[in-house]
Structure 1
Amino acid sequence: MHELGVVHRGVVRPDRRAVDALKPFGVSTVHEAMGRLGLMRPYIRPVYPGAAMCGTAVTVLLQPGDNWMLHVAVEQLQPGDVLVAACTTECEDGFFGELLATSVRARGGMGLVIDGGCRDVTALREMDFPVFSRAVNSKGTVKATLGSVNVPVVCANALVRPGDVVVADADGVVVVPADRVAEVAEASRRREDLEEEKRARLAAGELGLDMYAMREPLEAAGLRYVD
């Protein structure tokens, strides 16, 4: 059951150094390093090319067609936070635009992930304010119905708790639980180091068939070459 009409103010955020250690890594790397977990559904897309961010989640539960709680959530932002907004039911209305982005940035917020719509895309791009949304939609919203702020939400099939870390780029959005940030940052670094070695070998002409020792299992599976 959704918890409505409440704002939790005592969000425990991960150590800033751990969050900073995660920032160099992309969504695909973090997702793999975390055991192929945490991805939001791929319909959540950046609203302009090049949008990317990594920050701690302030979560918002919205009612359909109503952005009241986004305004409430802005007050709870601390520098380095990202708004993560879900809705009590599917809705693609334009919950968020340039004015709210201006307010979020003034509080030190880094961007927005929303399982809903946003608008003012040209202005957001000019501001370089990252938004990852379900839709771009000019349809406006009202301010009439309570939702909640800083409660666990399910955003595009991913569970997000206040204080979790959200990484977003052209490949999508991944959520790292707050208590795993340092571990996942280190696993991501190790994965990147290994990929750099593989990249060099592939660039030198070595085949993935040999690098990954695929030939014997392919033969055992019955693969035949016909000249």
Structure 2
Amino acid sequence: MAEWIQKFKDIPVTAVSDGLKGYNHLWPGIKPVKPTQKVVGYAKTVQIPPGDNKLVLQAIRDARPNEVLIVDAGGYIDRATAGDFIMGLAQMMGFTGAIINGAVRDIQGIRDLDFPVFCTGATPAAGFKHGNGTINEPTSCNGVVIHPGD
């Protein structure tokens, strides 16, 4: 694991926010599924239309070490971007965690994975598999721009 990633794991999130003068942190409506977790790594960005998660699976397939899966689904919470199966795949492929500006499902299953997942909400409804959107392009989650590799 990259040395800086290990160092960031030991720093409180509030100290990182203070060091960035309160800028560049995500909207507080994106919350951890398991409150005690945090995630550190390089951003792999995915931007999808509300309710569509096919590109999330493609991004997971192309995982690189120490990446955090960042998914912007526009904050849409009527259909899940992922559940325990998709998050389990992300974990297995080496992602350090996932941040989703949208909903997930299978909350208890995700907690049982012990894999850091942050999201804006939960729903039982599955996502669609149309395949629209982008991977590894700059995206914006509630006004915070995230570039691949951030």
TM more than 0.5: yes
**SS across alignment from 2:110:** helix
For 2:76, the aligned partner's letter is: C
Q: Name the CA distance, whole Å, in 2 between partners of 1:44 and 1:36.
A: 16
Q: Name the CA distance, whole Å, in 1 between partners of 2:142 and 2:104.
A: 15
C-alpha RMSD over aligned residues: 1.5
**SS across alignment from 2:41:** strand
Match of 2:129 among 133, 143, 152: 143
Report if the CA contact (8 A) 1:153-1:160 is conserved.
yes
Residue 90 of structure 1: how far off its partner (Å): 4.2
Structure ID, larger Rg: 1
Deviation by residue 1:34-72 (Cα, 9 ceiling, x = unmatched): 222111111111112312211111000011111011011
Partner of 2:76: 91
For 1:66, the aligned partner's letter is: D
Partner of 2:99: 113
Q: Which has the higher helix share?
A: 1
Q: Which residues of structure 2 form unaligned runs of 5+?
A: none
Length-normalised TM-score, structure 2? 0.92
Match of 2:46 among 60, 69, 73: 60
Deviation by residue 1:13-45 (Cα, 9 ceiling, x = unmatched): xx9222222221122110101222111111111
Q: Name the CA distance, whole Å, in 1 between partners of 2:127 and 2:37.
A: 24
Report if the CA contact (8 A) 1:84-1:155 is conserved.
no
Deviation by residue 1:203-224 (Cα, 9 ceiling, x = unmatched): xxxxxxxxxxxxxxxxxxxxxx
Q: Which residues of structure 1 form unaligned runs of 5+?
A: 1-14, 165-227
Partner of 2:118: 132
CA gap 1:35/1:90 in 2 versus in 1, 3 angstroms: closer
Q: Name the CA distance, whole Å, in 1 between partners of 2:61 and 2:12.
A: 29
Partner of 1:43: 29
Q: Name the CA distance, whole Å, in 2 between partners of 1:66 and 1:42.
A: 23
Q: Name the CA distance, whole Å, in 2 between partners of 1:145 and 1:103.
A: 18
CA gap 1:132/1:101 in 2 versus in 1, 3 angstroms: same
Report if the CA contact (8 A) 2:76-2:102 is conserved.
yes
Partner of 1:192: none
Residue 104 of structure 1: how far off its partner (Å): 0.8
Report if the CA contact (8 A) 1:59-1:85 is conserved.
yes
Length-normalised TM-score, structure 1? 0.62
**SS across alignment from 1:31:** helix
Structure 1 runs (4+) deviating above 3 angstroms are none
Q: Name the CA distance, whole Å, in 2 between partners of 1:133 and 1:107.
A: 20
